[in-house]
Every structure is written in C-alpha cells, then in structure tokens.
A and B are shown apart, each in its own frame.
Chain A
Amino acid sequence: MHRFLINLHRFYFYGKVTFMSEEYLNIGDASKLLGVSIDTLRRWDESGKFKATRTSGGHRTYREHDIEIFLNDLSSLALEWVSLPEPLELPSSFYCPINPIFQARLVKLQTALKSDPSTPEYFSLLVAIAGEIGNNSFDHNIGNWPDLPGVFFAFDTHKRQIVLADRGQGILQTLKRVRPGLPNHTEALRVAFTEILSGREPEARGNGLKFVRKIIQDYPINLVFQTGDASLHLKEKQKELAQLINPIAIHGCLAIITY
C-alpha cells in the first residue's frame, strides 16, 4: 500500500496536465515557499520527486498551484518520509527537530482550530491527542534516534486532518525496555493502545496512547497509526482494535488523525 501511495503521490506530479493559467515561480521563490534549499529542489527535479518545468531559456520554473498541492498532501509526504531508507529533506514548516519547536507548532494548531468556525467544540482533545503522540516521539527516542531526530507535524483544518510521524525506533523497540518478551510490532501496538503500564521503571512511561484510544471511542475522531509493519485504525464506538500487517515496514511511527 505504501508504494502505491508513494507512486500515486509521484504520479500526481508527473502526470499533471497544465491547463490552468497559473502563476509560475522561479526556483528561489519556490524554495522559500517550500522551505527547502535550492539544491534540494534541483535534486528533486533530477530524481523526479518534484519536477520543474523549464523556461525557454532553460531555467527551472514551478507552478504555484503544484507547490500548494505538494504542501497539502500531508499524509503522502509523511508516509514517504518514514518509508524511505534515508530521510528526505522536509519543508521546514512541517519538521520539528526538537520538542520546543513541536510545542510552538502545537500552539499554532490550537490557534488554527479555535479560529475556524467549523471546528468541533471538543477541539482541545485534538490538541491533546496530537500533543501526546508528538511528545511520545521525543520522550521515547531521546538520545536514541536512529538517523534524523524530530517529528513531522502538519495539519489542514479544511481537510480536518492532523499528521504526525517520526523516524525513531518505533513502539516495539521502545516498549521492549519494559516488556522484553514482546514478539512483534502488532503485539507492541496492541499493548501500547490497550494495556495500562503501571511499572514505570526504568523510564517514565505514560499511558498516552490509552488516553488517545479512550477519547476516540467517545468522540467522532479517526486515527490511523502505524509502527513498523503494524497499523491500526481507531474510530468512535469501536470496541475491538482493527489491526493490519502491512507489506512494507516504516521507520518509527506515523499517525493520521481526521475529525
């Protein structure tokens, strides 16, 4: 499914037919809008990740509308980021390398939700869920990030979607510190979302994912959560965990919240 999504994401760019009259940006302006360097944009063009068109003079140019779509396709971007062997450079507005930056973006999420008249009255629970998932990434990987530290964190209040991801050790590896016998990602995911862990040594381990599950049982919020090759889908009034094994394992964790 991952490859399909990633290819779909790429096809979206390769296959786009330019029939709209749109504003085009030079590579410098495009890099500012995307929050990546000009060199990165050149590499993305060469690799096909994000193709430029060429002016008659041979310079790279970017349609503003394509950049907006790229920035709005949050779940595909996050999935690609955690699926590939090496981390890609992310738009800076989506990347929180350290927890204080994540906290500041959480304030932005709350502000955006509060200012949107269509936001449900239980918006504080959305912020709390995003906070617990993002803080888990930092708390459980501190000093042990396999490659790139930090989290992907982005939201779209129009699509009612919040996406978080990390390239950390994943739940199985971190939970093994308190449950050494855990056999696989599926079981680790089940324990993380269902069992109260009262033995708090050797690390302070919260029960944030149990909180997330309890909230979603009572409110119209959906969550797709993947770690390694295991994923689950939580929704309102759901009693049993709906778990899946995916053909491709991801690095760390990926959470897609919709409401």
Chain B
Amino acid sequence: MRIILSKFGDILTSRQAGKEALAAFQSKLRSLSADENLEIDFSAVETFSPSWGDEFLTPLQKQLKERLRLINIADNPSVIETLKILEEVSEMSFERL
C-alpha cells in the first residue's frame, strides 16, 4: 500500500494536523494485510517538520517497524533533517527506499 503524503498538504508542520492525518488514515490502514509493506511517498511535500512527523510517522513506525518504507525523499532538506531528529528522539531507524 502506498500513501501520497502531499494529499495531507504540502506543508506538514503542525502537531494537531499530524494527529488528524493519522486518524483519517486509520480506516485505510486496517486493510493493510499482515505481510504487506506500507510505502509513504514524500514526493510534492514542500515542508516537513518534527511535530507533524512525530504524530504521524512515529506511531506507524512503532506499529509496522520494517514494513514501513519511506520513498521519494529526494533532496528536500526539511524531510531529510526531520527524519534524522525523529530517529534520534525515538531511537529507531526508518527504511528509506
């Protein structure tokens, strides 16, 4: 399954918006089969910051572990730097493709 993250907006910075995005995604997540990967596609995301990421990505990473794959991170510095601090704070590592 793939989520196009920019469908939640091209500026993803607010904690509240991150919570709402995860809640909105829950029903779709339930259809993910036990051996299926979830791909988070960062293309067209302009600005990404830790508050939004902590509410959306951190719980998904805890739940899915290596089945969570991050794709199209490209060279957006706000995505790259936010992923680094989320990994540091939560002592985990995201699978980047």
Which residues of A pack against B, CB within 8 Å? 99, 103, 106-107, 110, 114, 122, 124-125, 127-129, 131-132, 135, 139, 196, 198, 204, 206-208, 210-211, 214-215, 218-219
CB-CB < 8 A to B82: which residues of A? 128, 211
Q: Which of A99, A114, A131, A204 contacts B49 (CB 8 A)?
A: A131
User: Would B14 and A99 count as touching, CB distance under 8 A?
Assistant: yes
Question: How far is it, in angstroms, between the C-alpha of A132 and the C-alpha of B88 when the chains are bound?
Answer: 17
Known contacts: A210-B85, A214-B85. The answer to whether A107 contacts B11 by CB under 8 A is: yes
Question: How far is it, in angstroms, between the C-alpha of A107 and the C-alpha of B79 when the chains are bound?
Answer: 17
Question: How far is it, in angstroms, between the C-alpha of A132 and the C-alpha of B52 when the chains are bound?
Answer: 9
B residues 6-22 near A (Cβ < 8 Å) are: 10-11, 13-17
Question: How far is it, in angstroms, between the C-alpha of A125 and the C-alpha of B79 when the chains are bound?
Answer: 9
Q: Which 9 A-B pairs have the closest CB atoms?
A: A131-B13, A124-B78, A128-B49, A127-B47, A128-B78, A124-B47, A206-B51, A211-B85, A122-B77
CB-CB < 8 A to A110: which residues of B? 10-11, 46-47
Closest Cβ of chain B to A236, distance in Å, is: 14
User: Would A132 and B49 count as touching, CB distance under 8 A?
Assistant: yes
User: Would A211 and B81 count as touching, CB distance under 8 A?
Assistant: yes
A142 and chain B: residue at smallest CB distance:
B16
CB-CB < 8 A to A139: which residues of B? 15-16, 51
| Interface residue tally on B, bucketed by range | 20 to 34
CB-CB < 8 A to B85: which residues of A? 207, 210-211, 214
The answer to the question of B76 belonging to the interface, with a C-beta cut-off of 8 Å to chain A, is yes
Closest Cβ of chain B to A107, distance in Å, is: 6
User: Would B47 and A215 count as touching, CB distance under 8 A?
Assistant: no
- Told that A124-B47, A132-B13, A208-B49 touch, could you supply 19 new A-B pairs with CB distance under 8 A? A99-B16, A106-B11, A110-B46, A114-B46, A124-B76, A124-B79, A125-B77, A125-B78, A127-B13, A128-B49, A131-B13, A132-B51, A135-B13, A139-B51, A206-B51, A207-B85, A208-B50, A211-B50, A211-B82
CB-CB < 8 A to B47: which residues of A? 106, 110, 124, 127-128, 131
